[in-house]
Amino acid sequence: MPITLETLHSELNLKLLTPESDLSREVTAGYCCDLLSWALAHGGTGGVAWVTVQTHMNVVAVATLLDMACVILPDNIDPEPDALQKANDESIAIFKAEQNAYALCGQMWAMGIGQANRS
Amino acid sequence: MSHEALHESYVVQAHNFASAGEVSASIKRLLRHIGIDFGVIRRVSIAAYEVELNLVIHSRGGRIDLEIIPPIEIGGETGWLHLTSTDVGPGIRDVDLAMQEGWSTATDDVRDLGFGAGMGLPNMRRNADSFEITSEYGVGTTIKMGFKIQ
């Protein structure tokens, strides 16, 4: 059965910050990085769940360019308001989590979410 | 798929991080609208974002030109999409150094935002089918990238 944003939402106990997001979108891979150009080079294609502590608008720009499935902010951090607005405009789902980045990635891996295909 | 010839020009303001990424997003939307191959759109989008952010972070302002030359105009089966970035300075002191992965002159403030990984120019070269950079320190930088389209 495919893993969707809804699956992540419930299994990882995430808080959805973009309530209008389509949670039926499939998550095909995970990625964790805070350098934007590095994420662009290695983030992979398609339905990637991206864990990052960056909270500004360019996170949404990168996620949009790569057609990512969602952005997950660890450590209960909040995105900047204009980033949230842009995420709503671009239909990019943003979650925040109590867990840190390491725990989130470990949990996603345990669910069967592997690394993204290299472009 | 055949395409119409097209030329668009976009202005990029220096140091305006609030609007950074808007030009590359516009280019991506336009290419989707005219039906360019998805894989090409992805490579162009990444290269456009990197060159746009370089203009925001490092330049005194500049512009990005997008030009599509359909196959029929050059008498072949392959057309070209050209992305050209020109700025008004300050130019790069050592282009060979700037092309190395991990090398960057970005300030700590910019690095804190996740920029300045030293991957911008290498990412452009990796994603484009042709890549040319010319720079004169004190004058400005021009980057020309070409992408094959069917």
Q: For residue B3, is pLDDT > 70?
A: yes
Q: Would you say how long chain A is, in residues?
A: 119
Which has the higher per-residue pLDDT, B75 or B42? B42
What pLDDT score was predicted for residue A116? 84
Q: Which CATH number is associated with domain B6-149?
A: 3.30.565.10
Q: Where are the beta strands (DSSP E) in A1-119?
A: 15-16, 29-32, 48-51, 70-73, 93-96
B46 close to A (CB below 8 A): yes
Give pTM, 2 decimals.
Answer: 0.90
Angle at B136 (CA atoms; ends B140, B100), nearest 5 degrees? 95
Residues of A with CB under 8 A from a CB of B: 34-38, 40-41, 45, 52, 54, 56-62, 64-67, 82, 90, 119
A26-65 pLDDT per residue, tens: 999 999 999 999 999 898 888 999 999 999 999 999 999 9
CA distance B104 to B115: 10
Q: Domains along chain A?
A: 5-110 (3.40.1390.20)
Q: What is the mean pLDDT of residues B58-87?
A: 92
Q: How many CB pairs under 8 A join A and B?
A: 72
What is the helix (H) or strand (E) element at residue B80, kind and residue range?
strand B79-87
Q: For residue B1, is pLDDT > 60?
A: no
What pLDDT score was predicted for residue A95? 98
Minimal Cα distance from B54: which residue of A?
A37
B84-135 pLDDT per residue, tens: 999 998 999 999 999 999 999 999 999 988 998 899 999 999 999 999 999 9
Say which of B20, B46, B123 has its CB closest to residue A58.
Answer: B20
Query: What is the pLDDT of chain B when averaged over all its residues?
Result: 93
Say which of A35, A36, A64 has its CB closest to residue B25.
Answer: A64
Hey, which residues 104-143 in chain B have their CB within 8 Å of chain A? 113-115, 117-120, 122-123, 126
- In this prediction, residue A96 has a pLDDT band, given cuts at 50, 70 and 90, of very high
Query: Are A65 and B25 inside 8 Å of each other by CB?
Result: yes
Q: Which residues of A24-61 are buried (b: 16+ CB within 10 A; e: fewer)?
A: ebebbbbbbbbbbbbbbbbbbbebbbbbbebbbbbbbb
Say which of B28, B118, B122 has its CB closest to residue A65.
Answer: B28
What is the helix (H) or strand (E) element at residue B138, kind and residue range?
none
What pLDDT score was predicted for residue A119? 55
B23-68 pLDDT per residue, tens: 999 999 999 999 999 999 999 999 999 999 999 999 999 999 999 9
What pLDDT score was predicted for residue B8? 97
